[in-house]
């Protein structure tokens, strides 16, 4: 086990390292990346060194009320997303378009993530603590879905960029086969990001730990400093690549849109919406940072804070995809609204 002095020194050196990389770059993104890691880094270590997250249990009335709200929102959003998925599978025009394939991959990840988050929220009230191995499985699946979304959004921005800037070569560069290969590649990257956490836990934790019961949160399971170190480096590279991709594609589309058709201007607006979606998606990376900061200020309101963050960080952002494509895209809207309002989605 690392000594406190060594850990403090390591924290300091890493903070200085990221400060030099990001804050010295005189641009807005550098500032926000630096701010994120300055706030997230100490929290990763403090949460890693603790055995449990601060949890306050509600009385029966509040517990029932909160779970009804969460489940209702989950069912409503998942119904919309399931209708989007049904619409995609029923019409060949969407299956042969890489843009809609990437979109539906985003929707599938949203369904998986929202379902697991809601399930874990309900379990936190009903069972409260449960098997560590089951918790690890749920966290890995949910984290993979959450991690996939930023990469999918970046690829959708690239698709818009190719469609606008290289219209004659778009059908050659962006094909259905290549799209499915890239989706497999996305899941492989997610696995490479998450599996080291499991290996570290297997190496560091006693065997009895995996048969024990615990309140299921990521900091409670992967609580070693090596996991935090890996997350810092991986998330830094990941965020820079994703945001650089969106920024570059947006600028290229903007320059093209000045002298091009309305389609280019629509693509520009679409990339802006992707950026907004990505911003919402990135909030999940700050979940525990915000949670611990707020509970430190308002310890009596820990349960209310967790409930509010569940809604505004984990649930509401799942509505963005239906709004962007299910309503905004004319082609998809034609079929989507038909299935949604005529009740044909599950027939």
The predicted-structure confidence for 81-114, as pLDDT tens digits, reads as follows: 999 999 999 989 999 999 999 999 999 999 999 9
Q: What are phi and psi of 88, to 5 degrees?
A: -60, -45
Placement of tokens 């170190």 in the chain: 229
CA pseudo-torsion sign 74, 329, 151, 177:
positive
Query: What pLDDT, on a 0 to 100 scale, did the predictor assign at position 338?
Result: 82
Decide yes or no: CATH 1.10.3720.10 for domain 57-342.
no
Query: What pLDDT, on a 0 to 100 scale, did the predictor assign at position 262?
Result: 60
Flag whether pLDDT at 330 surpasses 60: yes
Name every residue whose Cβ is closer than 8 Å to that of residue 183 and which is 6 or more positions away in sequence.
101, 102, 105, 152
pLDDT, tens digit, 9 for 90 and up, residues 241-282? 998 998 898 888 887 766 556 666 677 777 777 777 777 777
Beta bridge partners of 131: 213
Task: Record the tokens describing residue 196, joined without a space.
Answer: 């080291």
Q: Pick from 315, 316, 333, 312: which is nearest to 324 by CA?
A: 333
Task: Record the tokens describing residue 214, joined without a space.
Answer: 């615990």
Task: Record the tokens describing residue 114, joined without a space.
Answer: 């929202």
pLDDT average, residue stretch 32-52: 38
Query: What pLDDT, on a 0 to 100 scale, did the predictor assign at position 202?
Result: 92
For residue 225, give the H/E element and its range. helix 225-257
Question: How large a percentage of the chain has pLDDT more than 70?
Answer: 79
Of 32-46, 156-170, 242-256, minimum mean pLDDT range: 32-46
**DSSP sequence for 24-64:** TS-SHHHHHHHHHHHHHHHHHHHHHHSSS----PPPHHHHH
Q: For residue 16, what pLDDT band results from cuts at 50, 70 and 90?
A: very low
Quote the CA–CA distance of 146 and 282 in Å, as a whole number: 9
Of 247 and 283, the structure prediction assigns the larger pLDDT to 247
Query: What pLDDT, on a 0 to 100 scale, did the predictor assign at position 174?
Result: 94
**How many CB atoms lie under 10 A from the CB of residue 85?**
16
Q: What are the distances in angstroms from CA 342 to CA 227, 271, 337?
A: 49, 31, 8
Query: What pLDDT, on a 0 to 100 scale, did the predictor assign at position 162?
Result: 92
Quote the CA–CA distance of 101 and 86 in Å, as a whole number: 13
Q: For all residues of the chain together, what is the average pLDDT?
A: 79
CB 36 within 8 A of CB 286: yes
Quote the CA–CA distance of 101 and 178 in Å, as a whole number: 11
Highest mean pLDDT among 40-49, 86-95, 183-192, 329-338: 183-192
CB 200 within 8 A of CB 227: yes
Of 164 and 103, the structure prediction assigns the larger pLDDT to 103
Measured between its terminal Cα atoms, the distance across the chain in Å is 58
Query: What pLDDT, on a 0 to 100 scale, did the predictor assign at position 2?
Result: 42
Flag whether pLDDT at 12 surpasses 70: no
What would you report as the CA-atom Rg of the chain, rounded to the nearest whole angstrom? 22
Q: For residue 180, what pLDDT band results from cuts at 50, 70 and 90?
A: very high
Q: For 298, which DSSP code? A: -
pLDDT average, residue stretch 207-222: 90
Quote the CA–CA distance of 147 and 169 in Å, as a whole number: 30
Flag whether pLDDT at 117 surpasses 80: yes
Flag whether pLDDT at 18 surpasses 70: no
DSSP E strand boundaries for the chain: 130-131, 213-214
Query: What pLDDT, on a 0 to 100 scale, did the predictor assign at position 263?
Result: 62
Flag whether pLDDT at 77 surpasses 60: yes
Flag whether pLDDT at 223 surpasses 80: yes
Flag whether pLDDT at 176 surpasses 90: yes
CB 321 within 8 A of CB 273: no
């Amino acid at each position: 086990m690392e000594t406190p002095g060594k850990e403090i020194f390591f924290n300091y050196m890493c903070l200085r390292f990221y400060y030099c990389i990001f804050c010295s770059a005189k641009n807005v993104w550098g500032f926000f990346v630096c701010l994120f890691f300055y706030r997230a880094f100490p929290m990763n270590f403090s949460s890693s060194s603790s055995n449990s997250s601060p949890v306050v249990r509600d009385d029966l009335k509040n517990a029932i009320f909160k779970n009804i709200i969460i489940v209702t929102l989950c069912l409503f959003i998942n119904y919309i997303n399931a209708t989007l998925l049904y619409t995609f599978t029923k019409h060949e025009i969407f299956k042969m378009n890489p843009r809609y394939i990437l979109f539906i991959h985003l929707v599938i990840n949203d369904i998986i993530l929202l379902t697991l988050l809601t399930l874990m929220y309900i379990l936190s009230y009903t069972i409260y603590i449960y098997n560590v191995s089951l918790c690890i499985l749920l966290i890995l699946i949910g984290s993979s879905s959450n991690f996939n979304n930023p990469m999918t959004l970046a690829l959708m921005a690239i698709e818009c960029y190719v469609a606008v800037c290289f219209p004659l070569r778009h059908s050659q560069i962006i094909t259905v086969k290549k799209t499915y290969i890239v989706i497999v590649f996305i899941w492989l990257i997610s696995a490479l990001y998450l599996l080291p956490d499991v290996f570290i836990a297997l190496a560091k934790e006693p065997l009895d730990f995996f048969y024990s019961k615990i309140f299921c949160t990521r900091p409670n399971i992967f609580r070693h400093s090596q996991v935090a170190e890996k997350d810092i480096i991986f998330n830094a590279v990941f965020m820079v690549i994703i945001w650089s991709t969106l920024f570059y594609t947006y600028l290229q589309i903007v320059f093209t849109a000045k002298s091009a058709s309305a389609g280019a201007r629509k693509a520009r607006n679409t990339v802006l919406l992707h950026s907004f979606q990505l911003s919402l998606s990135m909030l999940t990376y700050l979940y525990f940072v915000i949670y611990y900061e707020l509970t430190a200020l308002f310890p009596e309101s820990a349960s209310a804070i967790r409930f509010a963050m569940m809604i505004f960080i984990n649930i509401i952002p799942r509505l963005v995809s239906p709004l962007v494509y299910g309503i905004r895209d004319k082609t998809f809207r034609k079929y989507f609204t038909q299935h949604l309002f005529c009740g044909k989605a599950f027939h």
